[in-house]
Amino acid sequence: MDELQHRGLIFGASITVTTQNIREVSSDAFLGKLSAKGCKAAIFVEYVPVTDDSMELAPGDEEREYLKDRIDCLRKEHTEMVYISFPGDEKDTGGCVAAGRGFFHINSHGGAEPCPFSPFSDINVRDTSLRETINSGLFRELRDGGYLLEDHIGGCTLYEKRNQVEKIIAEGKAQNNIR
């Protein structure tokens, strides 16, 4: 951060929010340190469990309500930074922006995934154009099937629906012989 500030570059910080750190990472003290380093955006990303054993770290309704209220306050009182809540701001943007509704993630092998929290892919960017990628069978089904618009308990609607996502991929591979 010191180097970025020294060079006059604009940068932000991605902050993983858990049930254990939510108050610390949204505190004036923590955010003040980021601001002093020149940080211009704080992106609060709710922890998404990768196993059922870590579900207790995922913010629940109470924590999400606290974070929403805290960010509303920060946006009014500390305008030197931009504050984004993911997926908290989804309600204002019409649901999850994954699967080509705003972005998609490319993994280290070239697989196009709905997002980093939903590591499922039916297409590889090495073998196709970005236009074809964004219109893959998986992405189309997730967008058109309403999967991205539904409410969810944890930080990621697709994580909660991972069995359905895997089924979409399996059916697509059988239909289209995708490998």
Same domain, 35 and 107: no
- pLDDT of 23 reads 98
pLDDT for residue 159 is more than 80:
no
CB atoms within 10 A of CB 88: 20
Structural domain ending residue among the three candidates 29, 63, 86:
86
Average pLDDT value for residue range 129-157: 82
63 and 104, same domain (yes or no)? no
Residues 102 and 166 reside in one and the same domain? yes
Structure-block tokens of residue 7: 């060079």
Highest mean pLDDT among 36-40, 98-102, 146-150, 171-175: 36-40
**Statement to judge: residues 164 and 136 lie in one domain:** yes
Does residue 69 sit in the same domain as residue 24? yes
Task: Using pLDDT thresholds of 50, 70 and 90, give the confidence band for residue 178.
Answer: very low
For residues 77 and 103, membership in a common domain is answered with no
pLDDT > 70: percent of the chain: 92
Print the domain residue range for 54.
2-86
CB contact at 8 A, 64 and 35:
no
- On whether both 60 and 108 belong to a single domain, the answer is no
pLDDT, tens digit, 9 for 90 and up, residues 139-152: 999 888 888 876 66
**pLDDT greater than 50 at residue 105:** yes
160 has pLDDT over 90: no
Which pLDDT score, from 0 to 100, does residue 4 have?
94
The pair of three-digit structure tokens given for residue 127, joined into one six-digit string: 């073998």
Q: Are residues 76 and 128 in the same domain?
A: no
Structural domain ending residue among the three candidates 86, 120, 136: 86
In this structure, are 8 and 82 located in the same domain? yes
Domain count, the chain: 2
Condensed to tens digits (0 to 9), the pLDDT of residues 68-89 reads 999 999 999 999 999 988 877 7
Regarding whether 100 and 82 lie in a shared domain, the answer is: no
Same domain, 55 and 129: no
Task: List pLDDT tens digits, range 7-62.
Answer: 999 999 999 999 999 999 999 999 999 999 999 999 998 888 877 898 899 898 89
Indicate the residue among 86, 111, 128 that finishes a domain: 86
Residues 38 and 7 in one domain: yes
* Other beta carbons less than 10 A from residue 115's beta carbon: 23
Confidence of residue 123 (pLDDT cuts 50, 70, 90): very high
- Residue 115 vs residues 20, 37, 111, 146, 164: alpha-carbon distances, Å: 24, 29, 11, 16, 16
The pLDDT of residue 94 is 72
